[in-house]
Amino acid sequence: MVVATSATTVLAATTSIVDRATTLAATLSDRDVDEVVKALYSVSEPPPIKMVEIEKPAFEMPAEAPYVYYAGTDAHGNAVIWKATAAIKMATADSARTQEAGDEFVSAYIAASVMQGRIGAHWRAVFTSDPGPRVYARAFVIAWETKVALIAATSRTNIAWADATFHPGMPRAQVYDFLRSRDLVAWYASGGLPGSGCEVTATNPNRPWPVADPKMPPACANPAVTVEYTVGANFACGTEIDQGFIFDAEDRLTSVVDSKEHTTCL
């Protein structure tokens, strides 16, 4: 029998591990976060990770992780993950529980991968130390989500700044100077259909800060550029907005065009 639990009950039960992980997350550097998150993506890479997944009814799951739980290593050296699939499905009715289930899932697989040595002995030793792999893994999830939220907020601020700052007639050099002042990068935007001479090729690569080139076909002698902004991400997908800058034959800005949000998943 699956025991239904309220959002309040679940969130209260997970407070202990989340509180400890949140405190730990504040001490982690961006470099550490990026390195450890690689462990999650290494799960599907060869050689196969030694891991077993065990389905559990909700009432057998620990209070601190009611949906997905890293249960350590078995006698055969396999990482063991417990999953309560029925409880996960029930969680989709509530956004807070959906977020909790997702965070537990990612935390469990990061812990399993690190403890299997997928990113080296150093991190395995760190995760083995107090407060243990479950808290460490959750801390890295929290730190990564905090980092992504900051990147998304900065992106939206920069998009609004660009929309208000740039106007027709600005020379390319001035556009580039303004973009560089915000640590933004303008990339060559393919300016035509295949065969036009403007598409990205080995001799006309996707490159930052392209300049006018009279040797190119007229359609792309004054290349358009794109600035890419990350406005959201989870551990499987990223959402971006592309901001296009179009220049005329005098290499002056004619328009700035913001794309719709688009999502790419692994």
What is the model's pLDDT at position 122?
Answer: 94
CA 109, CA 70: separation in Å to the nearest integer?
7
Contact present, 74 and 108 (Cβ < 8 Å): no
Say whether pTM exceeds 0.85.
no
Query: Residues with Cβ < 8 Å from 247, sequence gap 6 or more?
Result: 172, 212, 222, 223, 224, 253, 254
CA 58, CA 233: separation in Å to the nearest integer?
29
Which tokens go with 211? 């300049």
**pLDDT of the chain along its 266 residues, tens only?**
333 444 444 444 455 888 999 999 999 999 999 999 888 888 778 888 899 999 999 999 998 899 999 999 999 999 999 999 999 999 888 888 899 999 999 999 999 999 999 889 999 999 999 999 999 999 999 999 999 999 999 999 999 999 999 999 999 999 999 999 999 999 987 654 445 557 666 665 668 998 888 887 777 788 889 999 999 988 888 999 999 999 999 999 999 999 999 998 87
Q: Domain extents for the chain? A: 7-148, 166-265
Cα 58 to chain centroid, rounded: 30
CA 194, CA 99: separation in Å to the nearest integer?
43
